[in-house]
Every structure is written in structure tokens, then in C-alpha cells.
Amino acid sequence: MRTALLAIFVLCFSPTLQADVAKTKLSVKVLTPSGKPLDRASVIIRFVSGRDKMKLYSKIRTQWETKTNQEGLVQIPQIPQGKIQIQVIASGYQTFGHIFDVEEEEKTLEIKMNAPQAQYSAH
């Protein structure tokens, strides 16, 4: 009986609780050093922490792994607002990683990749 009541509570009130979590529609545009769109770059987005003391429920997705399209663009429909970590990996470029604060309903982040630095050995 207790389990049934808990299940009914979760089913009835879970969407309401999740609706209270402020979300952002996020776009990430990845560019080459010359400003051209970078196609097929791997983009990893992770939610780090919320701007409010909120609880994340299991149905709220907090991590995405995808690739940019021909326009160098990735669009994530809903992510909780707060601190997010973005990592971009593309062949022939330095790996990019940074934590951003996202507090708007819609946000577009432009990331300009850097050419790889020369490597050398001390021996």
C-alpha cells in the first residue's frame, strides 16, 4: 500500500516538480580559427550545478554527446540553467574545454577552435 501511494505521488507530482527547474535552449556554434563553421566536431555538454538549490530528478537529462552539423552548430533543446561544462574535440585542433554560466531561456555560445601547438620533447 505504501509503495502504491508513493508511485501515485511520483506520477502525479513529478512533472510539476520538474517544471520548476529553470531550463535553457542551448546552441553551440563551433568555428575554425578563421571563423568558418567546423563540421563533425564532437561536442560534450555536461550540467555541473544549478543556479538555485534545486534537486535534479532522474527524468531531467544532464549530459549530451553529439557532433556539429555542416554549419558547425549543435542545438540542445532543454538543459537546466546554471553551470555547464562544454568540451569540443575536432581532428586537427586543440581540444576545447570550459565551464559557462547559463541563466537565459535561450543561449548561443560561439567557440573558436585553436590550431594545435608545436610539440617537442625534452630528451
What digits encode the pLDDT tens for the residues 39-61? Answer: 999 999 988 886 554 455 455 66
Average pLDDT, the chain: 80
> How far apart, in whole angstroms, are the C-alpha atoms of residue 25 and residue 116?
31
> How far apart, in whole angstroms, are the C-alpha atoms of residue 70 and residue 33?
16
Say if residue 7's pLDDT is above 90.
no
How close are the terminal C-alpha atoms of the chain, in Å?
71
Cα angle value 112/24/97 (rounded, 5°): 30
Q: What percent of the chain is predicted at pLDDT more than 90?
A: 50
Q: Which helix (H) or strand (E) holds 3?
A: helix 2-19
Q: What percent of the chain is predicted at pLDDT more than 70?
A: 74
Task: Give the list of residues 6+ apart from residue 26 with CB closer than 8 angstroms, or none.
Answer: 45, 75, 76, 79, 84, 102, 106, 107, 108, 109
Say if residue 14's pLDDT is above 50.
no
Kind of pairing between the strands at 106-112 and 42-50: unpaired
Domain 22-112: CATH superfamily is Immunoglobulins (2.60.40.10)
Regarding pTM above 0.75, the answer is no
Ranges of each domain in the chain: 22-112
The mean pLDDT of 4-33, rounded to a whole number, is: 66
Task: Give the list of residues 6+ apart from residue 61 with CB closer than 8 angstroms, or none.
Answer: 78, 79
Give the model's pLDDT for residue 77.
Answer: 82
